[in-house]
């Protein structure tokens, strides 16, 4: 069904870096890490997309009860996609502000046992908000990381030359970077005048907590601290869930997987100075979904404005005859400008394989995004990421069928602070 297809995307976005936090059928299977990442992620993200689950089954289900969507910016439907902002303070550039901690004493939600499920009066579910005081120290973090082969960049120097810049990630033990990720989508299908619209909204507060620095290798924990989600299919009732609202009822089944991840370490990730993931604790790489990796990959050499670099990737999709096809893509990055220490980088997902079959094209819509990333050269971290998807496929399920997909992702840093317990420990380079 259409709802399942786009709900899966929204829930994947929540963890951004990790595996999907909800299963494709109902969202009841929680994930084990980006931005993934973000995705809201929010996420995003990251991982070997050749191993990502195909969306072909969902696309085939879409053809059974299709619909034609309105634009994401349609005035008549703004209230369906207007994001609900979380209680955070914004920072401009690299300025530092702390998030209010009035909810810091809230207790994370715990899964109920079968005995509790049978109780006539269930206990009231508290609002879920994590405080930095509840974060484990380095010594208490016992995640086992599996090595990952870093991706290889293809770099091209600027044709115009000019001043060059070396871009590198810079983190200190105990640093906590918090970001708000907003994902909005409005999409649907139409087959022979049968229509169905679907909208979804996810606003999440994610955090990276640096637990170790050794040379240019940085290890951090990725968390989802808060989440607010909603979904509406056709003229049906809007389904909502917020981790900040206490309730006597369990979260809707569609959001159960995402709700279970709130307040937990979703993944422990190790990157090098160029933002390449070299190890992570989750057992499988998350799907790509056109949102990029948990971190922005940076070129090896100093680059001038106009320079480009790209990462090739692959995705295997099923075909009508039962066989499969390996499609090749690339993520193309370009340094557009540098102003006041902030590098503005454009990013575009492009297919390198020829895709002429609309049924195949419908399976890769979510892979093709474009947008802008801002990177603070002095602080050594990403400031914001804005991505957009606007696609239409005609005849994806025979004559008269149309599939449209319109979405927006806004991921920006809202606060930077320090976990004193971790910061007091010496980094691995000084031990």
pTM: 0.71
Output the pLDDT for position 290: 67
Q: Report whether 146 contacts 279 (CB < 8 A).
A: yes
Output the pLDDT for position 1: 45
Buried b (16+ CB within 10 A) or exposed e, 37-55: bbbbbbbbbbbbbeebeeb
Q: Is the pLDDT of residue 185 over 90?
A: yes
Output the pLDDT for position 249: 87
Least confident of 30-39, 125-134, 241-250: 30-39
Can you tell me the distance from the alpha carbon of 190 to that of 362, in angstroms, rounded to the nearest whole number? Answer: 13
Output the pLDDT for position 50: 33
Can you tell me the distance from the alpha carbon of 183 to that of 14, in angstroms, rounded to the nearest whole number? Answer: 9
Q: Report whether 29 contacts 16 (CB < 8 A).
A: no
Categorize the per-residue pLDDT at 288 as very low, low, confident or very high, splitting at 50, 70 and 90.
low
Which of 277, 367, 278 shows the shortest CA–CA distance to 328?
367
Output the pLDDT for position 15: 42
Helices (H) and strands (E) in the chain, counts: 7, 16
Least confident of 67-81, 315-329, 395-409: 67-81
Which of 212, 242, 249 shows the shortest CA–CA distance to 224?
242
Buried b (16+ CB within 10 A) or exposed e, 232-261: bbeeeeebbbbbbeeeeebbbebbbbbbbb
Output the pLDDT for position 157: 96
For 334-390, the pLDDT digits (tens) are: 999 999 999 999 999 999 999 999 999 999 998 899 999 999 999 999 999 999 999
Start-to-end Cα distance in the chain:
55
Cα-based distances in Å from 361 to 210, 319, 392: 40, 11, 10
């Amino acid at each position: 069904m259409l709802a399942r297809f786009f709900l899966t995307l929204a829930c994947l976005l929540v963890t951004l870096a990790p595996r999907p936090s909800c299963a494709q059928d109902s969202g009841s299977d929680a994930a084990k890490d980006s931005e993934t990442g973000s995705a809201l992620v929010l996420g995003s993200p990251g991982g070997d997309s050749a191993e990502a689950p195909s969306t072909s089954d969902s696309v085939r289900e879409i053809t059974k009860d299709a619909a034609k969507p309105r634009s994401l910016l349609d005035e008549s439907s703004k209230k369906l996609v207007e994001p609900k902002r979380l209680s955070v303070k914004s920072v401009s550039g690299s300025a530092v502000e702390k998030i209010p901690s009035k909810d810091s004493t809230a207790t994370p939600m715990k899964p109920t046992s079968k005995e509790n499920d049978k109780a006539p009066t269930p206990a009231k579910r508290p609002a879920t908000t994590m405080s930095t005081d509840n974060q484990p120290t380095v010594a208490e973090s016992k995640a086992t990381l599996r090595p990952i082969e870093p991706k290889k960049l293809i770099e091209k120097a600027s044709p115009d030359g000019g001043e060059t810049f070396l871009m590198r990630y810079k983190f200190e033990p105990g640093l906590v970077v918090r970001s708000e990720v907003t994902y909005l989508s409005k999409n649907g299908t139409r087959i022979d005048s049968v229509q169905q619209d679907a909208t979804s909204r996810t606003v999440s507060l994610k955090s990276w907590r640096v637990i170790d620095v050794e040379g240019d290798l940085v290890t951090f924990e990725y968390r989802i601290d808060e989440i607010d989600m909603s979904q509406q299919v056709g003229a049906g009732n809007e389904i909502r869930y917020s981790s900040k609202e206490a309730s006597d009822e369990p979260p809707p089944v569609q959001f159960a997987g995402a709700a279970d991840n709130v307040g937990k370490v979703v993944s422990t990730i190790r990157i090098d100075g160029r933002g390449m993931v070299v190890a992570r604790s989750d057992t499988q790489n998350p799907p790509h979904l056109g949102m990029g990796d948990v971190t922005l990959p940076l070129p090896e050499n100093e680059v001038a404005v106009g320079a480009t670099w790209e990462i090739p990737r692959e995705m295997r999709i099923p075909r009508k005859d039962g066989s499969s096809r390996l499609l090749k893509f690339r993520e193309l990055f370009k340094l557009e400008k540098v102003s006041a220490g902030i590098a503005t980088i454009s990013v575009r997902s492009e297919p390198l394989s020829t895709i002429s079959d609309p049924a195949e094209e419908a399976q890769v819509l979510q892979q093709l995004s474009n947008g802008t990333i801002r990177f603070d050269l002095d602080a050594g971290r990403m400031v914001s990421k804005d991505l957009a998807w606007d696609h239409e496929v005609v005849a994806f399920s025979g004559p008269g069928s149309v599939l449209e997909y319109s979405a927006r992702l806004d991921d920006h840093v809202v606060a930077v602070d320090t976990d004193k317990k971790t910061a007091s420990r010496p980094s691995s380079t000084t031990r």
